[in-house]
Amino acid sequence: MERTTISRAEIAAIARQGAEKSFDAQMTLLSKFCGINCGTHNLEGNRKVVALVDAVLAEIGASVEHIHSEGVGTHIVARIAPEDPQGRIILHAHLDTAFFGDGAKVEDHPFRIEGEHAYGLGIADCKGGVATILYAVKALKEAGLLPPKEIVMLFNCDEEVGSPTGRAIFQREAPSAEAIISFEPGRKQNGVLTARRGLAIGKIRVHGIAAHAGLDSGIGASATRELANLIVQLTARSDLSIGMNYNIAPISGGSNSAIVADYAEASFCVPLDTPEVYERVQKDVLEDLPTWGIVEGCTIETELGIMCPPMPRCEENIRVYGHLKAAADLLGLPLPEEKSFNPADCGIFSEINRAVVDGLGPYMYDIHTPGEHMRIETLKERTALLIATLAMYP
């Protein structure tokens, strides 16, 4: 349907009406979605979830691409575009939940409504975001208000483990996007995340010399003693003013207390506000730490990598936020800027293309717990906000 030219007041009315009209279908979708165990790597659960999403995409008339990752599941890339699109906007959410393996099961924590809240495993992270995207785009198309751009709806199935296979899809789709809007749940002030911390992870390995623990001192080289020394020194390099805090766990070493430990290791993580913080971490871990040894005969090895890049606040994501804020003002919704201290897929997008914001899903409570729930009214608000944002997008 060709995009119509209407007033701002008409856009606001259509956005509210579209959200209201979509609400029952969204809640029905969420009740089904939350009845499926779809933790990362649950292939049967992923298959069922993909079928639910595909059904709505068929109603929209989107072209759909399934990308299968062995042992992980199926990612969805859906597109709707005019004949000659003038740009690309990516709407992103993930299909998997944090509840996998021996974790909580939907049978024990079924979808339910209590007052102004809806409960279900993953309902806010990120099933509510999926429902927001699908029905906002559907309402836009029905109203003839889709922007003259390619709208890419990207739903990956491995966010909860760092998107190791979804990353390649992001790298394919994100570089040419003028805006990437991610629908992780809203939080705190119910605003928009223009910054999120990333996360680096690493290991420390110490090789010592085994000996009988009761022999005279100087026999053997204790890897556990050396590791303890390194832990103290590395944690002292933390700088909380920039969120750089070394958390070291788990720790292991030695075979029993009668033998001087010939091996010890520790894992660690450290949050990253910016790429510059990672440069400091690289110096600490890869250059300095191997020189801090105090136990003669021990050797030290370190490794380091980024699990999720940071999303620093920058001019490009402020521009995207500005479009959302204009739509929120039109609807009379407060929409402050916020920052999250936890990593997510938006950090990967930000590393590729910095025009990205996050937190546009419904308001969250107790995510990653069996009591996860969302504030129902915010599903309507976020749906109306996305409708208005895209309808006004230049």
The per-residue pLDDT for range 11-45, each reduced to its tens digit, is 999 999 999 999 999 999 999 999 999 999 999 99
Q: Are residues 93 and 187 in the same domain?
A: yes
Asked if pLDDT for residue 1 goes beyond 90, the answer is no
Q: Are residues 147 and 159 in the same domain?
A: yes
291 is a domain residue: yes
Q: Are residues 183 and 236 in the same domain?
A: no
Contact 313, 195 (CB under 8 A): yes
Q: Are residues 261 and 356 in the same domain?
A: no
Cβ-based burial of 10 (10 A; exposed 0-12, middle 13-18, buried ≥19): middle
3 is a domain residue: no
Listed residues 246, 273, 308: the one ending a domain:
308
Other CB atoms within a 10 A radius of the CB of residue 221 amount to 22
Q: Are residues 358 and 381 in the same domain?
A: yes
358 is a domain residue: yes
Residues spanned by the domain of 247: 198-308
Q: What is the model's pLDDT at position 3?
A: 65
Listed residues 285, 308, 331: the one ending a domain:
308
Residue 149 zone, left/alpha/beta (φ > 0; ψ -120 to 50; rest): beta
CA atoms within 13 A on the CB side of 213: 13
Contact 204, 300 (CB under 8 A): yes
CA distance 364 to 133: 16
CATH classification at residue 301 = 3.30.70.360
CATH classification at residue 102 = 3.40.630.10
Domain count, the chain: 2
Q: Are residues 295 and 254 in the same domain?
A: yes
345 is a domain residue: yes
* Per-residue model confidence as pLDDT tens digits over 288-313: 999 999 999 999 999 999 999 999 99
* Per-residue model confidence as pLDDT tens digits over 101-152: 777 999 999 999 999 999 999 999 999 999 999 999 999 999 999 999 999 9
2 is a domain residue: no
Higher pLDDT, 101 or 285: 285
And the tokens for 150? 């390619």
Length of the chain as a residue count:
394
Q: What is the model's pLDDT at position 103?
A: 76
Q: What is the model's pLDDT at position 336?
A: 98
Q: What is the model's pLDDT at position 102?
A: 74
248 is a domain residue: yes
333 CB contacts (<8 Å, ≥6 apart)?
Answer: 381, 385
Could you tell me the pTM of the whole model?
0.93
182 is a domain residue: yes
Q: Are residues 111 and 203 in the same domain?
A: no
Q: Are residues 232 and 325 in the same domain?
A: no
* Per-residue model confidence as pLDDT tens digits over 168-227: 999 999 999 999 999 999 999 999 999 999 999 999 999 999 999 877 666 899 999 999
Listed residues 247, 278, 308: the one ending a domain:
308
Q: What is the model's pLDDT at position 2?
A: 57
% of the chain residues with pLDDT over 70: 98
1 is a domain residue: no
Query: How far apart, in Å, are the Cα atoms of 83 and each of 80, 86, 149, 300, 365?
Result: 10, 10, 9, 59, 42
Q: Are residues 218 and 162 in the same domain?
A: no
* Per-residue model confidence as pLDDT tens digits over 54-96: 999 999 999 999 999 999 999 999 999 999 999 999 999 999 9
* Per-residue model confidence as pLDDT tens digits over 339-363: 999 999 999 999 999 999 999 999 9
Q: Are residues 205 and 190 in the same domain?
A: no
Q: Are residues 48 and 184 in the same domain?
A: yes
Q: Are residues 53 and 174 in the same domain?
A: yes
